[in-house]
Structure 1
Amino acid sequence: MSKVIVVTGAGRGLGTDIARAALAAGHRVVATGRRPEQVEKALGGPRDDLLVTTLDVTSLEDAYAAVQAAVDRFGRIDVLINNAGNFFAGFFEEIPPDHLRQQIETNLFGPMNVTRAVLPVMRRQRAGHVITISSLAGLVGSEFNAAYAASKFGVEGWMESLHHDIAPYGIRTTIVEPGFFRTELLVDASTTWPEPSIDDYAERTASTVEAWKSINGQQPGDPAKLARALLAIAGQDEPPLRFVAGADAIEGARAKAQELLDQADASRELGGNLAHDDT
């Protein structure tokens, strides 16, 4: 069945792959990006089943305008895929506070803005599906990743809670937790590399930046396959609340789950006896 699918960050990387796959599958697509000319170049057009519109996800006004354009053109919105994002790398002390705020603004408040604009449409329909791209970094923290992980951990908590808010209105949610995919996240247009500013971190910063840059183009995951998997999930009557994408992510998520179980068990003796004596 043809759906109306809104994709953010559709001008390059995974967003382009999702939009292309959706069009090829017969869906109608609202492809958004900060530079609509880049989206149009990536997807071609014009065509009857494609609407390209401007959307900077950090702007709530842009989000409402894009949603209105989608409804005006196609009459409804069945699926929102929150894909747009960026990466501010670095050790926490070397990440300037304004960069940390920009990371949260784009990766957390960005999908919140677009979802806030879409939900009234989906509630009226009593149907819809919000899919938000998180990351294995939303489950597992690692060095040089403090800002990005903070934004994605926030996405996890928001989406998990949102599920309970909107499920009564027939709206489904899915958090997507990819591992390393050969997207454009690590290109300079998406990644902000830190400027060494603290001597203690200087050597580690230089070697870690070099290591991260060497990964670009060598990641094991195929974003075109991920795009098709997301469309398969969008077509399910009961989609998963979480979709862990990639063999590396599956192993990482399982290890994290076991770590949490182990830590809960280790806390039992001291942490399990903290109730008031009168209870």
Structure 2
Amino acid sequence: MTAPESAASRVWFITGASRGLGRAFTEAALSAGDRVVGAARDVAPLDDLVARHPDRMLASSLDVTDRAAVFDVVEHAVQHFGRLDIVVNNAGALFAGMVEEFTEAEARAQLDINFFGALWVSQAVLPRLRAQGSGHVLQISSIGALGGFPSTGLYSASKFALEGMSEALAAEAAQFGVKVTIVQPGGYWTDLYTSSRATSPNPVYDPLREELAKQWADGSVDSEPRLAAEAVMKLVDSADPPLRLLLGSMVYDVAFAISRQRMETWAGWEEVSRAAEKAVPAPS
């Protein structure tokens, strides 16, 4: 891996920068001597970083679900630092509940934050990155995008949507020198779960909830956000970053297990799949 020549003068735009992984990414970028625009609904937790790095840290209040506000904040960021180099779509939330339990408002809120927020930021920064012929967009996805899991179905849906959009974005932006990486973290000690919102529980799912609670109590392997930030710094320093990057042994193993299971299922139904297609001339 080789670092870009302009590494010392990179400008980051990080959403959800005030806590969790976003805070860790912000601190790592500042420690590397880079400049950061940290965007969050509540920027008060960033006051200490602004005080320590007044010339290199800009805190911007932002609700990523507000498309017009996103474009305004990105414009202000460019005016302040002159350019953007690394964009981290990290803002997100978890709405927990069985698929059947979600109200329309809850389902839309989950997609608004995790998918549409990242879409608005991606749309806002692309003209700038295209014009300068460089840039790296990091879409912070999740282990939840590897498959659907009980009680996090809408969260997974939002991350599946993010990844599908980001794959297309990567192919579209490559011709302009802009890179896109989908980062898939496993468990980290952030407040994603403690700040999560829950649906009104349907009692028919109580046995499943109890079983899930036992699994989670016995199987936590969460790590320090600092380790994710160290991996991200290696990623942005690479001259040839991947489209996808798994963060953590647990998510790495789960990704391969799910992929193998899918391949085995597809192979088992190969005859049916192939029989469902036979090219014929276009109807007259």
What is the aligned partner in structure 1 of residue 204 from structure 2? 200
| 244, 248, 252: which one aligns with 2:246 | 244
| Unaligned residue ranges in structure 2 (runs of 5+) | 1-6
Whichever residue aligns with residue 229 of structure 2, its letter is A
CA drift of 1:93 comes to 1.2
Whichever residue aligns with residue 186 of structure 1, its letter is Y
The count of residues paired between Structure 1 and Structure 2 equals 274
Query: Distance between the aligned counterparts of 1:95 and 1:211, measured in 2?
Result: 23
Q: Percent identity?
A: 33
Work out whether residues 138 and 156 of structure 1, in 8 Å CA contact, stay in contact via their aligned partners in 2: yes
Pair 67,266 (structure 1): closer, same or farther in 2 beyond 3 Å: same
CA drift of 1:210 comes to 8.1
Query: Distance between the aligned counterparts of 1:36 and 1:109, measured in 2?
Result: 21
SS in 1 for 2:269: helix
Residues 200-239 of structure 1: pairs in structure 2 closer than 5 A: 200-205=204-209, 208=212, 219-239=221-241
What is the aligned partner in structure 2 of residue 51 from structure 1? 58
Whichever residue aligns with residue 92 of structure 1, its letter is V
Pair 276,122 (structure 1): closer, same or farther in 2 beyond 3 Å: same
What is the aligned partner in structure 2 of residue 161 from structure 1? 168
Whichever residue aligns with residue 239 of structure 1, its letter is P
The one-character-per-residue Cα deviations of 1:197-219 (angstroms, maximum 9, x if unpaired) are x331234446646875x589x54
Query: Distance between the aligned counterparts of 2:46 and 2:221, measured in 1?
Result: 24
What is the aligned partner in structure 1 of residue 40 from structure 2? 33
Pair 268,225 (structure 1): closer, same or farther in 2 beyond 3 Å: same
What is the aligned partner in structure 1 of residue 182 from structure 2? 175
Pair 83,104 (structure 1): closer, same or farther in 2 beyond 3 Å: same
SS in 1 for 2:275: coil
Whichever residue aligns with residue 269 of structure 2, its letter is S
Query: Distance between the aligned counterparts of 1:146 and 1:242, measured in 2?
Result: 22
The one-character-per-residue Cα deviations of 1:125-154 (angstroms, maximum 9, x if unpaired) are 010110011011101211111110110111
Out of 73-82 and 88-97, give the one that drifted further. 88-97
Out of 256-265 and 243-252, give the one that drifted further. 256-265
What is the aligned partner in structure 2 of residue 259 from structure 1? 261
| 118, 122, 144: which one aligns with 1:111 | 118
What is the aligned partner in structure 2 of residue 72 from structure 1? 79
CA-based RMSD of the aligned residues comes to 2.0
CA drift of 1:41 comes to 4.5
| Unaligned residue ranges in structure 1 (runs of 5+) | none
Out of 249-258 and 46-55, give the one that drifted further. 46-55
CA drift of 1:101 comes to 0.8
Query: Distance between the aligned counterparts of 1:38 and 1:99, measured in 2?
Result: 27
Structure 2 length as normaliser, TM-score? Answer: 0.90
Work out whether residues 11 and 86 of structure 2, in 8 Å CA contact, stay in contact via their aligned partners in 1: yes
Query: Distance between the aligned counterparts of 1:15 and 1:32, measured in 2?
Result: 9
| 121, 126, 129: which one aligns with 1:122 | 129
Query: Distance between the aligned counterparts of 2:122 and 2:19, measured in 1?
Result: 21
Work out whether residues 15 and 40 of structure 2, in 8 Å CA contact, stay in contact via their aligned partners in 1: yes
What is the aligned partner in structure 2 of residue 5 from structure 1? 12
Query: Distance between the aligned counterparts of 1:195 and 1:41, measured in 2?
Result: 38
Whichever residue aligns with residue 129 of structure 1, its letter is H
SS in 1 for 2:137: strand
Structure 1 length as normaliser, TM-score? Answer: 0.92
Query: Distance between the aligned counterparts of 1:182 and 1:277, measured in 2?
Result: 52
Work out whether residues 54 and 62 of structure 1, in 8 Å CA contact, stay in contact via their aligned partners in 2: no
